[in-house]
């Protein structure tokens, strides 16, 4: 039945209704009356139904919902009047009865028009709310909430529109946040490149002008080398960070012995720690600690965290690197006895180029990329890195996945 074209279905319904009417009249009165009823009503029913299809196809010409409904009522009341007068013509009704039924049908028609107006008012106002809401969204508003009075298809539409507005707002906010972060990054990069480049220019000019000679010249050349290596490190770090963040990860993951890796890294950092009078020690479990990771990248994370800890710990203080397994993961913690990170800085330390502390307390050694790179590496491994709260000093933790057994 559903496959049948709508017009055919309407005509079939009209035909069945006329047949039923004719059968009732045939049963109650006579067969001739039944045949007349059928033959007179069938073209009327077909005409009215075709008119309704025409209306549906040309809704645009009929204007608003209220007008469409009014037109529908007029067609229905018109068809009732026509059928009454057809019946009168066929002598089923007296002239008096036909007038009475016509007046009743007209009065009911007028009442139906008013009822339609009242009912369609709610629908119209909901449609207007939807239109106003969409116009507001189109105009840039993202806190619009479309409210409708009913609990019908229009209410479902309003719910979908509200969900869409919320999604748009969230997407725009995160895009704006990303844009602001990119602008901050560009500003920081320019600043961090400009400072060593200015020193480089001064040194080169002094050497070129012959101002620096002998030992001074040699010292300037070694300073030049330091600036060049700082710049190279900065550009390499930036490149690495942007590659990881873009998902361009070409590392191979393997089953690594994390305890051995941590032990080796602590040994490798001992010289730098000794120069500053800082003790550095590894606190490792007795048994092997396996992780699914890329060893060079994990070394990089460990290096960044231990270097930070050593840099911020005063002489005679100590740095501890602890590793252990924890509910299907492995967890590494780097604790130091330094000044700690100020509450205002804590939410930002993983942002690229963020250097905490005050200008005077800030170490001049870093670009503020170490923790950003560490976070990118750890997250690319499917792990987490965070700043654990600690009474004094700083406590950094990160996790890596344990290898799947077997
Ligand atoms: N162990 C720590 N103790 C105190 N502050 C820290 C510690 N680790 C990080 N921070 C703070 O977080 C900031 C960001 O650290 P991050 O490692 O990203 O940059 P950086 O060490 O300044 O430079 P880079 O690592 O690029 O050489 C640091 O500037 C510092 O203020
Ligand atoms: Mg660092």
Query: Which ligand 1 atom is at minimum distance from the Cα of 312?
Result: 3
Same domain for 19 and 134? Answer: yes
CA 42 to centroid of ligand 1, rounded, Å = 89
Q: How far is the CA of 140 from the centre of ligand 2 (A)?
A: 41
Ligand 1 pocket member 308 (CB < 6 A):
yes
Burial class (CB in 10 A: 0-12, 13-18, 19+), 17: middle
What pTM, to 2 d.p., does this model score?
0.63
Distance 373 CA to ligand 2 centre (A): 9
Q: Which of 245, 270, 300 is the last residue of a domain?
A: 245
**Residue minimizing CA distance to atom 9 of ligand 1:** 308
Q: Is 156 domain-assigned?
A: no
Q: What residue's CA is closest to ligand 1, atom 17?
A: 370
Q: What is the pLDDT along the chain (406 residues), one digit of tens a residue?
A: 567 888 999 999 999 999 998 898 888 888 887 888 788 889 988 998 998 898 888 888 888 777 888 888 888 888 888 888 887 777 677 888 888 878 887 888 888 888 877 878 888 899 999 999 999 999 999 999 999 888 889 999 999 999 999 999 999 999 998 898 888 888 888 888 888 899 899 999 999 888 888 888 999 999 899 889 888 988 888 888 888 888 888 889 999 999 999 999 999 999 999 999 999 999 999 999 999 999 999 999 999 999 999 999 999 999 999 999 988 899 999 999 998 999 999 999 999 888 886 655 444 567 888 999 999 999 999 999 999 987 889 999 999 999 887 6
Nearest in space to 114 (alpha carbons), one of 66, 45, 183: 66
The token pair that represents 155 in the structure block:
């209410």
For residue 370 and ligand 1, the question of a CB distance below 6 A is answered with yes
Residues 275 and 227 in one domain: no
Tokens read off for 58: 């040309």
Q: What is the DSSP string of 367-384?
A: -S-HHHHHHHHHHHTT--
Residues 94 and 233 in one domain: no
Residues spanned by the domain of 330: 254-401
Helix or strand (DSSP H, E) at 328: none
For 386, the enclosing helix (H) or strand (E) is strand 385-388
Residue 166, in any domain of the structure? no
Whether residues 241 and 258 share a domain: the answer is no
**Which residues lie closer than 8 Å to 114 by C-beta, 6 or more apart?**
none
Going from the Cα of 219 to the center of ligand 2, the distance in angstroms, rounded, reads: 27
CA–CA gap between residue 258 and residue 302 (Å, rounded)? 11
**How many A from CA of 279 to the centre of ligand 2?**
18
Ligand nearest to the CA of 366: 1
pLDDT tens-digit readout, 6-27: 899 999 999 999 999 889 888 8
What local confidence, expressed as pLDDT, does residue 365 receive? 67
27 lines ligand 1 (CB under 6 A): no
Q: Which helix (H) or strand (E) holds 151?
A: none
């Amino acid at each position: 039945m559903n496959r049948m074209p709508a017009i055919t279905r309407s005509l079939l319904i009209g035909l069945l209704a006329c047949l039923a009417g004719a059968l009732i009249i045939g049963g109650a009165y006579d067969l001739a009356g039944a045949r007349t009823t059928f033959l007179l009503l069938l073209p009327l029913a077909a005409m009215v139904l075709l008119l309704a299809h025409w209306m549906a196809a040309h809704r645009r010409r009929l204007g608003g919902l209220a007008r469409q409904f009014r037109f529908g009522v007029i067609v229905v009341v018109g068809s009732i009047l026509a059928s009454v007068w057809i019946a009168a013509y066929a002598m089923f009704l007296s002239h008096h009865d036909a007038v009475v039924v016509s007046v009743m049908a007209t009065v009911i028609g007028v009442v139906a028009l008013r009822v339609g107006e009242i009912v369609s008012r709610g629908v119209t106002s909901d449609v207007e709310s939807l239109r106003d809401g969409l116009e507001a969204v189109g105009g840039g508003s993202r806190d619009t909430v479309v409210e409708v009075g009913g609990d019908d298809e229009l209410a479902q539409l309003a719910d979908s529109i509200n969900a869409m507005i919320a999604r748009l707002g969230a997407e725009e906010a995160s895009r704006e946040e990303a844009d602001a972060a990119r602008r901050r990054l560009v500003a920081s990069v320019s600043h961090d490149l400009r400072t060593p480049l200015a020193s480089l220019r001064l040194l080169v000019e002094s050497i070129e002008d012959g101002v620096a000679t002998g030992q001074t010249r040699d010292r300037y050349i070694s300073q030049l080398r330091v600036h060049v290596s700082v710049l190279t490190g900065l550009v390499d770090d930036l490149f690495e960070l942007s590659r990881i963040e873009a998902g361009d990860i070409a590392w191979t993951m393997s089953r690594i012995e994390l305890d051995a890796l941590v032990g080796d890294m602590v040994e490798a950092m001992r010289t730098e720690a000794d120069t500053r009078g800082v003790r550095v020690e590894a606190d490792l479990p007795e048994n092997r600690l396996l992780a699914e990771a890329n060893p060079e990248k994990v070394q990089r994370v460990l290096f960044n965290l231990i270097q930070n800890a050593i840099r911020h710990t005063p002489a005679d203080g100590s740095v501890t690197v602890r590793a252990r397994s924890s509910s299907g993961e492995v967890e590494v913690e780097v604790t130091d006895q330094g000044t700690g990170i100020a509450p205002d800085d804590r939410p930002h330390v993983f942002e690229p180029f963020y250097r905490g502390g005050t200008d005077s307390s800030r170490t001049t050694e870093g670009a503020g990329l170490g923790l950003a790179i560490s976070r990118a590496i750890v997250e690319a491994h499917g792990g987490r890195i965070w700043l654990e709260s600690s009474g004094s000093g700083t406590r950094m933790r990160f996790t890596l996945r344990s290898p799947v057994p077997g």
